[in-house]
Amino acid sequence: MVANQYVETYRQLSQEVHDAGLMRRCYGFYWAMIIGWVLALTALSAAVVLLAEAWYQLIIAPLVGFVMTQLAFLSHEAAHRQIFASRVWNEWTARILSGLFVGVSYGWWMAKHNSHHAHPNQDGMDPDVKSWILAFTPDESDQRSGLRAKFAKHQGTWFIPLLLFEGLNLHYASLRMLFTKPRVSFRLTEIALIATRHTAYLTLLFSVLPAGLAFGFVGLQVSIFGLLLGGAFALNHIGMPTVPAGVHIDFLRRQVNMSRNIRNGPMVRLLMGGLQYQIEHHLFPVAPRPNLRALREFVREYCSRYEIAYTEKSLSDAFCTVISYLNQVGLKNRDPYGCPLVRRYRG
């Protein structure tokens, strides 16, 4: 089957998905989620005041990190225009949720995430496979020396501990972009939203808690936020085939072959925020979260019919795959995770 036939296959799949009504908005679901998680954050803030210096604050902190992760998922969905029909409503919902509640720049996220969706796991194109700390490809591992090369040999072992710092990295990277990039839309608005969030958050903690407990609260909350959010996104692509720069693959196979689903279940739904259906999300990024489960059946049927590899793993298996892949890359093992489409084209 040649590439242009896959283009037609995707067109047919898209038509069936639209005819089934799976692109319709789910306003009730999203309003309930937004209001519910904002109320949950408000209740936790009240608990911080009521508990004062009690050690129970160390239970509240990870709960705040969990709720902020849920708000970040909703911001991500609004950024993909899943929530409202209006582009402006989606954009401002994403901007307010990410800036005022989570403390991350919407503009920074959009620039990074759009590049990822357009070129998943492609060297030089996908910002998610470029890291100063982790080596995601054998070629990148080859270029490392000294301490970075030694670290890369066991980088998979450090993957989960590193996720604890991902929340801090998200805050830092988005602020760096806002203050250093020459042209940024709504720069002052986003700085004001993030500054308001950080000021209110830190003022609340340091006015109610002793300094040591307040620092501990922030550290624990940011760590849990990074672990949950970073883990949810990392499991979907790390360890899937990587594509060399300059290689073009049709949209259908590019999105399916480079993405991994996580097998659905109550705990996965709570932790992944819809990202367990990563293949469907990449093929139809505007599809609302409640429709992705039904959408999966259409995609799996097409992938089976046209012999397109469709990867789905349990949460634990996905973590093991990611850790194993990162360690093999660090040891410069070049074979098991090469893209089969690239090998076919080169052959």
Q: Token match 């591992």: residue?
A: 141
Candidate from 121-130, 205-214, 270-279, 280-289 with smallest mean pLDDT: 121-130
Give the model's confidence band at 246: pLDDT under 50 very low, under 70 low, under 90 confident, else very high: confident
**Structure pTM?**
0.92
Cα-based torsion angle of the residue sequence 187, 193, 195, 200 in order, rounded to the nearest 10 degrees: 180
Angstrom distance (rounded) from CA 152 to CA 134: 7
Report yes or no: 177 and 343 within 8 Å, Cβ to Cβ. Answer: no
Contacts with 266 (C-beta within 8 Å, 6 or more apart), sequence order: none
Give the model's confidence band at 201: pLDDT under 50 very low, under 70 low, under 90 confident, else very high: very high
Q: Per-residue DSSP letters for 81-103? A: T-S-S-HHHHHHHHHHIIIIII-
Report residue 77: phi and psi, to 5°. Answer: -70, -40
Can you tell me whether residue 242 is helix, strand or coil? strand
74-120 residue pLDDT tens: 999 999 999 999 999 999 999 999 999 999 999 999 988 989 999 99
- Beta pairing partners, 261: 312
Tokens of 49: 């005041």
Candidate from 71-80, 223-232, 281-290, 324-333 with smallest mean pLDDT: 324-333
Tokens of 329: 């890359």
Is the pLDDT at 344 greater than 60? The verdict is no
Residue spans of the domains in the chain: they are: 3-346
